Structure 1
Amino acid sequence: MNFRLASAVKHFGQIRHASAVAASAQEVLAAGNQAAISELSNGFRVTSVENNRHVSTIGLWLDLGSIYDDAHLNGSSAFVEQLVYHGSGGKAQLELELAKLGGRLSSYTSREHTAFFVQVPNAGVEKAVALLANAVKNPSLDNSAVEAERNVLLRKLAESESNLSEVALDNLHATAFQGTPFAQSPLGNTNGLTNISRDDIQSFLKNHLQPTRIVLAGVGGVNHERLAALGEQHFGSLTNNYERKIPQYENVRFTGSEFIYRDDSVPYIHGAIAVEGVSQNNPDALPLLVASTIVGGWSNTSNVNVNAPSTLVQKLSILPALKSYQSFSINYNNTGLFGFQWVSTADDQADVMEITGLIQRQWKSLATSVTNDEIDRAKNLLKSEVLAVADDSTRFADRIARDVLNTGAPVQLADLDKAIQKIDSGSIREAVSRNVYDRDVAVATVGRTEATPLYAAVRYGQSWWRL
């Protein structure tokens, strides 16, 4: 009796402690992490979070990515990212000017966006905005700059081939969204990068470098009114006059298919399997993210195996063929991908099919019998991730800027935390049943692909109810 009483008291104390922590997290997210947004008369938008840190992340995010490249000129967005540096006398010169402020420059191009941002002490925010604005508005388009960056981009493309997991994910997009802009790689392709001319880039910029397609974002010790004034100062004169065609966000078509790229010099098979996911705005986006977190991931370098809290990891970790796997739920503006990647030996196709079959059965379990323990673990992981975003000014700025470009407004982290907390077994079962169960799949493999699972078997596994 005494043991049971002590156990109950201890358990009660844990509940009270967990509740206090949850309340504290809500307070942290609600106070000092509220994102503000304003819009200039020309449609240029400014979003920011003032959290009184000594260092701020300031940047420009553009609605410009590989989905807007012409099919025969895939790589145009990547060219723009590189050429922007030349607008201030070259990347080295721009980095030198920012370094004088104590800043560090970063940039990226994705399928939907291109971003340029810098971490800088608060005293250097105004100068950093001026430097970034000049670089983005006045990129160098002389032939020598274009040719120099062509070589850089072709080298980057060649180097990317060594990251086979990324190659598999890129090929997954290529087959899943074949015949649509989402099949195009943010890195471009050899044909596009080789043939893009200075005039092509100039035309591309005139189509896309419009104020309604640019967001100035800042997180740190930056006042929103001051940042909005800087936006007006540097971008208020831009107009939305499209001399050529208005960029369109084309409809996306998912195709159940496979992309197999055999390279026997690779010791393993790197693969990815996915169904069509949902857009960022879709009500099922968050339940599917929780579901993907439940599926989780594992690597043979991890100490977690049969002692893992996840039964799926317990089953997969004892398979000698498996080297690693990772679940994902990717949300774009009007589509997505829900699936997983894996790396395994390729000695026996049956071994690979056992790996993919176990994960597919986990998908069906999510649609029928997901447990509260699994959901709570996944929600706690995601809520921790929300706190991590709040603590990282660069990730925070990137998130709110992409929110504004995709949805028109930043998602408040406190609201996101509350939305995660509301996810239950019913919402996960419904979301997985609607979007995953008995849906066509796309499969991509790279390396020793003779062990690629039979497509018909993978597709059949989507509708087989036996768990």
Structure 2
Amino acid sequence: MASRLLKLSSNFRVLSQRFKSGASHSGDYLSALSTVGEPTELTLTDNNVRVACQTTNSETTTVGIWINAGARYEEATNNGAANLIQRLTFKGTSKRAKANLESEVANLGARLYSFTNREQTAFYATCLNKDVPKVVELLSDAVQNPKLDEADVANEIKSVLRETGEIEANIEDVVFDYLHATAYQGTPLAQTIIGSQESLSSLKSKDLQYYVDSHYKASRTVLAASGGVKQSELLKLAEKNLGKLDDTFDGEPPVLSRCRYTGSEVRLRDDSLPYAYFALAVEGPGWSSPDRIPLLIASTAIGAFDRSQGNFEDAYELCHNYKAFNTTYSDTGLFGVYIVCEPMQCDEISRSALKTWHRIANSITDAELDQAKNRLITQLLSQQNSSKANCEDIGRSILAVGHRTPLSEVVASIQNVSNQTVRDITDKYVSNKCPVVSAVGPVEQLMDYVNLRARMYLSRL
């Protein structure tokens, strides 16, 4: 293990030095990556569960189950169902009481994780290699046999509703929920992950069980792992523990309906808040689009900073927080910036944000481009020594695009993006497009939507 870490550390230092020196030894560089990123193997079981594994020389493994289930697969009437099921999954199964499940996990020294987003649900754990069979059995039981008693469901709904007040206190989450609500209004992507008070109040145990029966199917499931487990072993565990997972549907299988993007805005003015919080975005590409990497580079070039950490540029000195984002879904996305600023600076900083978009689309420098590429590559390399980060990437990638691209290919695709491509792709998504705006707080001074829309025209230099 120590030798492996030393090898990785040495590679990171060499690659970092090449970044800083601006060396262009791309052949040697990509060859060096083969010693850092291990290949990901993918196999299909007889009942169509996808099994994906990245084997490394590690004493621990992160293994988990990823499912195509989330808020985008819900209706307005059952919005929040996927999140509720995820929260209840580790609270007991038809085979294990909650106390027994918690005791088993504690005895293994494993750490459980779970999440639900708008398109995916995941249950995973990090454990010692010798405990992988037990963890896979435990996760499989939790996913296939969740205990959804009416009393437990009612208590969990009460808990979610109580936490809603705490979520409202996290203004950044509120801004992004509103951003989705206005950008994808009238479609499932407009729904929040936790659900509305109305939908949660009407959900019963039978509704959650119906969602499980409709969505937790073999062909919608990935068993993913990264660490000291081999693909052959993981495949046997999948066949043993998930081999009976049903893959038949009552009617048509659930599919993602097209979510129409609408340029629009939503503002929640509250002058009692000390700062203005707002997000400004345009529609971006989906996971499979060739435009995703160039636009990700553009987003990285725009960057992020926090005044409390002292890392802000003169151009953004009016901000307290500034963060570029590039949120990606199966067939769409949101490319934009999130800003926290003084109330009377909303207009000026929004103008500055639009100018930055147009500058990237018109005249990003080679130095800016190289820096953005290096930052992206560094992030990728820094994740390679984390089985948790790798497992998350495997599960997410297999569900989103059906495979996980080798690290060397990802790095090569980043390196091969030209200055002109970044400008062209940024121009394609920004210039003369209808933006979406979500604003909370004392936002009276934020320029009106018509003015914002007019400023989306790019003046050629």
Alignment of 1:130 with 2:144, yes or no, is no
Matched with 2:316 is: 316
SS at match of 1:274: strand
SS at match of 1:107: strand
Pairing of 1:244-263 with structure 2 (within 5 A):
244-263=251-270
Moved more, 146-155 or 33-42: 146-155
Is the Cα–Cα contact under 8 Å of residues 223 and 238 in structure 2 kept in the other structure?
Answer: yes
Q: CA deviation at 1:453?
A: 2.5
In structure 2, distance between residues paired with 1:352 and 1:40: 54
Q: Pick from 177, 183, 187: which aligns with 2:184?
A: 177
Matched with 1:114 is: 121
Alignment deviations for residues 389-444 of structure 1 (CA, whole Å, 9 cap, x no partner)? 21211111111111110111112122111111111111111111211111110000
Matched with 2:431 is: 437
Matched with 1:66 is: 71
CA distance 1:130–1:358, shift in 2 (3 Å):
same
Pairing of 1:223-302 with structure 2 (within 5 A):
223-302=230-309
Q: Pick from 409, 415, 431: which aligns with 2:409?
A: 415
Matched with 1:145 is: 152
SS at match of 2:438: strand
Moved more, 26-35 or 201-210: 26-35
Q: CA deviation at 1:125?
A: 0.5
Pairing of 1:28-427 with structure 2 (within 5 A):
28-29=33-34, 33-88=38-93, 89=96, 93-305=100-312, 313-317=313-317, 319=318, 322-346=319-343, 348=344, 351-427=345-421
In structure 2, distance between residues paired with 1:339 and 1:92: 45
CA distance 1:175–1:26, shift in 2 (3 Å):
farther
Alignment deviations for residues 188-216 of structure 1 (CA, whole Å, 9 cap, x no partner)? 11111111111111111111010011100
Is the Cα–Cα contact under 8 Å of residues 260 and 444 in structure 1 kept in the other structure?
Answer: yes
Moved more, 115-124 or 428-437: 428-437
SS at match of 2:454: helix
SS at match of 1:126: helix
Is the Cα–Cα contact under 8 Å of residues 59 and 115 in structure 1 kept in the other structure?
Answer: yes
Is the Cα–Cα contact under 8 Å of residues 65 and 77 in structure 1 kept in the other structure?
Answer: yes
Alignment deviations for residues 148-178 of structure 1 (CA, whole Å, 9 cap, x no partner)? 2112222232211111011101110010000
Q: CA deviation at 1:16?
A: 7.0
Is the Cα–Cα contact under 8 Å of residues 30 and 412 in structure 2 kept in the other structure?
Answer: no
Amino acid at match of 1:65: G
In structure 1, distance between residues paired with 2:182 and 2:217: 32
Amino acid at match of 2:328: N
Query: How does the TM-score come out when normalised to structure 2?
Result: 0.92
Alignment deviations for residues 237-270 of structure 1 (CA, whole Å, 9 cap, x no partner)? 2232112552121001110111112233321111
CA distance 1:30–1:331, shift in 2 (3 Å):
farther
Is the Cα–Cα contact under 8 Å of residues 294 and 378 in structure 1 kept in the other structure?
Answer: yes
In structure 1, distance between residues paired with 2:28 and 2:324: 30
Moved more, 155-164 or 108-117: 155-164
Q: CA deviation at 1:51?
A: 0.8
SS at match of 2:433: coil
Moved more, 296-305 or 186-195: 296-305
SS at match of 1:161: helix
Alignment deviations for residues 298-340 of structure 1 (CA, whole Å, 9 cap, x no partner)? 21113334xxxxxxx33112x3xx2111001111111000000
CA distance 1:111–1:90, shift in 2 (3 Å):
farther
- The two structures, once aligned, show a CA RMSD in angstroms of 2.1
In structure 2, distance between residues paired with 1:21 and 1:170: 41
Amino acid at match of 1:371: T
Q: CA deviation at 1:367?
A: 1.5
CA distance 1:315–1:92, shift in 2 (3 Å):
farther
In structure 2, distance between residues paired with 1:259 and 1:120: 44
CA distance 1:76–1:245, shift in 2 (3 Å):
farther
CA distance 1:275–1:91, shift in 2 (3 Å):
farther
CA distance 1:262–1:393, shift in 2 (3 Å):
same
Moved more, 376-385 or 90-99: 90-99
Aligned residues: 443
In structure 2, distance between residues paired with 1:148 and 1:328: 35
CA distance 1:444–1:100, shift in 2 (3 Å):
same
Q: CA deviation at 1:15?
A: 7.9
In structure 2, distance between residues paired with 1:386 and 1:92: 38
Is the Cα–Cα contact under 8 Å of residues 46 and 215 in structure 1 kept in the other structure?
Answer: yes
Q: Among all aligned residue pairs of Structure 1 and Structure 2, give the percentage whose two residues are the same amino acid.
A: 34
> Unmatched 5+ residue regions in structure 1?
1-11, 306-312
SS at match of 2:348: helix
Alignment of 1:454 with 2:448, yes or no, is yes
Q: CA deviation at 1:62?
A: 0.7
